[in-house]
Structures are given as structure tokens and as C-alpha cells.
Amino acid sequence: MNSFPRNYWYAAWAIVAVAYIAGLFIDIMDIDAAQYALIAKEMYHNHSYLEVYLQGSDYLDKPPLLFWTAVLFFKIFGVYDWAFRLPSILITILGIYSTYRFTKLYYPESTARLAALISASCQAFFLMNHDIRTDSLLTGLVSFTFWQMAEFDKSNKLKYILLAGLGVGLAMLSKGPIGLVVPGTAFLFHYLLNQDWKKILRWQYLPALVIIGLVLLPMSYGLYTQFDLHPEKIVYDLKGPSGLRFFYWTQSFGRITGEIYWNNHPDTFFLVHNFMWSFLPWSLLFMVAFFVSLVDKIKQLIRKETNVEWITTAGFLLIFIFLSMSNYQLPHYTFVIHPLAAIILASFIDSRVLNSIGLRKTLIVLFLFTVVGILTVGIFMFGVYFTQHAVFSFTLFIGISGLAIYTLFKKSIDYSLRLVIAGAMLIGVTNIILNSVTYPQILKFQSYSMIAKYVNEQAKSGTENKLIFYKIDPYFAGEFYSNATVHKEGNLSNLSKLLIPGKSWIVTDSLHKDEVIRLFPYKQEKVFQDYHVSTLKPDFLNPLKRNNVVESRYLLTY
């Protein structure tokens, strides 16, 4: 084996880290991420930590760990978008390290290194650490649980299963029972397929269950007092829902059984084609690795071999099938099993590929297809849509892409290492530019956050300022970024009661602007361009057609 290429290895990690850091400071995007940030802001101000509210109304959809961690960082640093994101990034780092430690228990050190970098550099990880949802916490904590359960599997030491219980409890606090289902399914089938019956039922699981219960107790108490004690409440069209039942069953399993009305009618392969982009630049390589690895595992099963590592293969496949059974699916549902995919791919390219010239050539071709695709998108995005900082973008993108391609063909580095280093560099520089140049320009069209920040600059400090949205919905970003009190009003007669000269601003659209200014002459008007930036369409990306899809929002100063 060739000497370890430390300079190239550290360069790849540095590029990935810069992309993560750049994502800290962009505006929070509507709808989901801004919704969660607003819940945390409300919790920070109203000190209601066990009962969760959104814009003053009962909130039941997601567990509170994301809000609790954000509130903690708000208390330390203040209410900033980067403070909202920072806990998720720290948990992601824990998850990446856990992936490394887990892999090292079953595979060589070299495979563990590859698995960590593959996991850290897949597109899902870049995305979920700036467009913050519950998946970043879930993924990191589930990875931690895998590591601790693997340590317990190898050593039988009580401390590891207790830490695994802590990981499961926190993972469930981040996104519900899936935090238990993923590691539980993976290890159960690992023991079943290895016919290791004694490990399925061990007394050490009991204290771990106690730890899980203790971790979930505060949230469970809050759900009970907020919902179960109030059968008169109606939430999500459910009359008198049990908060406990909703969390532990309906919100997750009810999507499969049909107990909850959420249904976006996903096609059979919805999660498959979303996995293909979210696991870039590794998705094409993974398809080959998973097929070959699964065939190998089945052959080992037929030969009745024992001590076969089924955790990653069975965990990935079974959870993927389980998630695909849901009546309501979103692209980020599979993010939690991306680390398992990273381990499967790392093991494959670090063992099988080294001894097979045919597989090596196949992976090179698939990887080059990925490179061409990323380069094409990069050139289009940076050259056609984003004229601002074009020289910087092109220089950085071409420079690091050239280094990545040079690394890919540098024969003094082991094949597996250069493949992963090159891929991480390529996707890393793409996300540096996305987070530092592209998204900041796109988010200028998220008018309500821009309006809120503009009003913050204009408003007099220490006074009760009012930002009034007339017959339009401010969504959540506008309220999160606003230091003024946000009002939603649909009645002209009520505006006169809200307007205070020097302390009030009205936001409206072109349909309702005239009816406002006829009754309430304003001091100043400022126009903001608005587009729902989480659903980018070709006409918006094309500067020649953008005016056809962008709307105007009017800020009237009083």
C-alpha cells in the first residue's frame, strides 16, 4: 500500500468544512426551516419548553429537541440564524465521527476513513446543515447509536448499551420512533441472519430502555399536559388528539396505516430518485457497490457463514423499504441511512475494487459521468444565472475541480483514496459556491425576510414597532427575522387601530395596495421582489424570463 496522502486528505476535509461553515450564514429558507426557527424563537421568548407553540397556536408535528438546542444557543449567542444552525452542525460532526468509529469496529482503518469522508461529503449533509430540519439531529444521533451498539456488541460492556439508550432517546426526541426503528432493525436482523440468538435478548437492554424512558419523559409530560388533558382541542383536523399517541404512533406509523390524512401520493420510486441526487457524488458508485455487496452477503448466508456484518446492508435495505411504504414522503426521509450507504460504498471500493480492474474501470466511468454532470450544472448556474462574483466563482470552481481531477489520476495514491478525495473536493467546492454565492443571491427574492431586516434597520430601538401583513401570509421567515411585532390583518377597519405613526409598516401585494393607500396615506414606499425560493423553476433561473414569475411586495412606511 502507498503512503497515506495527508496533504490531499486534509485538503478534501478542509474544502468540505468550508462549505459547512459557509452554510451557517445564509438566510433561513421558508417553509420548514424557517418554521422551526420561529418555534425556537417563540420558545425562547415565552419560556414554554414542554408545551410547543407556533405563532401562538398548538404545535404537534415534530418533537422538541431541535427547538431545545436552538433555544440553548439563542441564550448563549442571541437569536441569530447561525445560532439556530450551529447545534445541528455539531451533532452532524458527532455523527461523522461515529460513522468512522463504527466502521473501524468491523472493517480496516482505511475503510473507516473513507466512510467518514463519503458520509460528510454527500449532498444531503451539505443541504441539511443549512436548510435545517430535524433530519440533521436524527442522522447524527442515530449514527452515534450505531457506534455505541457496535461497541456493546463487541465488548458486552454495560456503559456502551447505556450510551446507546441515550442516543436512541435523543434521536426519538429529534424525529420520533424512527430513532429507535433504524438501529433496532439493523442490529436485530444482523443477529438473526448470523443466528446469534443469545444477543437478541440480553438483560442489559432493560437499563437501556430505562435511559430511553427518562430521556423521553419531559417531552411526554409536555404532550400529555398540552393535548391529552384537553380533548376539546382540534389539531391537524384531529378532534381531541392524544399527544402521546400522535408522537409514538400516528405521526410515523399512521402514514402507513392511513390513520392520518397526510398523503402526497408519492410514486413507487420516489425515494429512489431522490436518493440519487441526495447521495451525490456517490450515488452511481453506490448502486454498483450495493448490488455486489448484497450478492456477496447472500452467498455468505447460503454458505451459513457467521460473523458477517449485516448491520449496514440489512439496515439500509429494510429501512428504505419501510420508508417507501409511507403515504407521505419527502426527499429528506432517507438522509438517516446515508451513513450506512457510505459504509457500504467505502467497504466495497477499499476491498473488492482494488483486486478487480474491470470494477475499477466501471467506477471510473460512472464517476466521470457524475463529474461531467456537476460541471455542467456548475457552469450553467455560475455562468448563466449568477453574474455576481462570477470571476471568484469560476476561479475557485475550476481551480479545485482541476485539483480533484488531478488527484483522481495520481497513481502514487491508492485508487480508493483518490476516488473519494476527488469526489469530496468536487462536491465540496460546488457547495462552497452554492452557500457563499448562489443561495445568498437566491434568498434576496425571499421578500419577507428581506423586508423584516430592512424594517429592523429603519425602526427606532426601544419602541413597540409593528410590521403588518395585509391580506398576505408572511410565512415564517418574515416573523423570525423581524424585531417588530408581526400582525396579520385582512380587514381595513382594523388597520386604523394598529397604525401608529413612526412605528408601523404595512406589507401588501399589488392586488391590495390601492385599497390600503386610499384610506391610509403613507410616508414612503419600497418594493421587494418575491419568489418562493424553495421551489426553483427554470423560468426563475433564467434572467430573461424571471420577471414573468417574480411578484412584487410593497412595504409602506407610516
pLDDT in tens, 361-399: 677 777 777 777 766 666 565 555 555 677 777 788 888
Q: Which of 249, 271, 293 is the last residue of a domain?
A: 271
Does 500 fall in a domain? Answer: yes
Identify the pLDDT of residue 139. 97
Query: Do 92 and 133 fall within a single domain?
Result: yes
| Pair (548, 529) in one structural domain | yes
In a domain, 280, yes or no: no
What does the pLDDT read at residue 546?
Answer: 86
Mean of per-residue pLDDT scores for the chain: 88
Q: Which of 320-329, 458-467, 548-557 has maximum average pLDDT?
A: 548-557
User: What is the rounded distance in angstroms from the CA atom of residue 320 to the CA atom of residue 329?
Assistant: 12
- Indicate if 60 and 156 belong to the same structural domain: yes
pLDDT on residue 419: 86
Query: Using an 8 Å Cβ cutoff, are 482 and 456 in contact?
Result: yes
- Mind listing the pLDDT tens digit for each residue in 10-33? 999 999 999 999 999 999 998 899
pLDDT digits (tens, 9 = 90+) for 63-122: 999 999 999 999 999 999 999 999 999 999 999 999 999 999 999 999 999 999 999 999
Residue-wise pLDDT for 325-369, tens only, equals 877 777 888 999 999 999 999 999 888 766 666 666 677 777 777
Classify residue 213: in a domain, yes or no: yes
Residue 156: inside a domain: yes
Cell of 317: 435495505
Answer yes or no: do 429 and 450 share one domain.
no
pLDDT score, position 267 = 77
Q: Residues 423, 480: one domain?
A: no
- Contacts made by residues 228-231, CB under 8 angstroms, sequence distance 24+: none
Considering the domain architecture, whether residues 408 and 466 belong to the same structural domain is answered as no
**Upstream peptide bond of 231 is cis (omega within 30 degrees of 0):** no
pLDDT-derived band at 416, boundaries 50, 70, 90: confident
> 493 pLDDT band (50/70/90 cuts)?
confident
Three-state DSSP at 51 gives coil
What's the distance, CA 510 to chain centroid?
Answer: 35
- Compute CA distances 350 → 78, 418, 508, whole Å: 45, 11, 58
pLDDT digits (tens, 9 = 90+) for 211-234: 999 999 999 999 999 998 888 888
> Please, is 330 exposed, middle or buried when counting C-beta atoms within 10 Å of its C-beta (0-12, 13-18, 19+)?
middle
Domain presence at residue 312: no
More confident residue, 463 or 284: 284
pLDDT digits (tens, 9 = 90+) for 163-182: 999 999 999 999 999 999 99
Q: Looking at mean pLDDT, say which of 48-62, 139-153, 248-262 comes out highest.
A: 139-153
* Residue range 275-315, pLDDT digits in tens: 998 998 898 889 989 998 999 999 999 988 888 999 999 99
Element (H, E) at 264: none
Average pLDDT over residues 150-160: 95
Q: How many residues in total does the chain contain? A: 558
Q: Is the pLDDT of residue 136 over 90?
A: yes
Q: Which residue has the higher pLDDT, 240 or 551?
A: 551
Range(s) of the domain holding residue 463:
446-557
Residues 134 and 224 in one domain: yes
If one compares 534 and 354, the residue with the highest pLDDT of the two is 534
Structurally, how many domains does the chain consist of? 3
In degrees rounded to 5, what are phi and psi of residue 238? Answer: -100, 120
The yes-or-no verdict on residue 192 having pLDDT over 90 is yes
Question: Among residues 236, 271, 306, which one ends one of the domains?
Answer: 271
Distance CA 440, CA 532 (A): 14
Residue 1 confidence (pLDDT) above 50: no
Instruction: Please report whether residue 18 resides in a domain.
Output: no
**Is it the case that residue 236 has pLDDT exceeding 80?**
no
Query: Quick one: 503 and 430 in the same domain?
Result: no
Counts of helices then strands in the chain (DSSP H, E): 25, 9
Asked whether residue 487 is domain-assigned, the answer is yes
92 with 167, same domain: the answer is yes
Cα 88 to Cα 65, 85, 316: the distances in Å are 10, 6, 23
Task: Return the pLDDT at 159.
Answer: 96
Give the side-chain half-sphere CA count within 13 A for 22: 21
Same-domain pairing of 213 and 362: no
Domain boundary among 444, 467, 500: 444
Residues 220 and 261 in one domain: yes
In a domain, 322, yes or no: no
Same domain for 363 and 238: no
Distance CA 349, CA 360 (A): 8
The C-alpha angle with vertex 280 and arms to 148 and 273, in degrees rounded to 5, equals 100
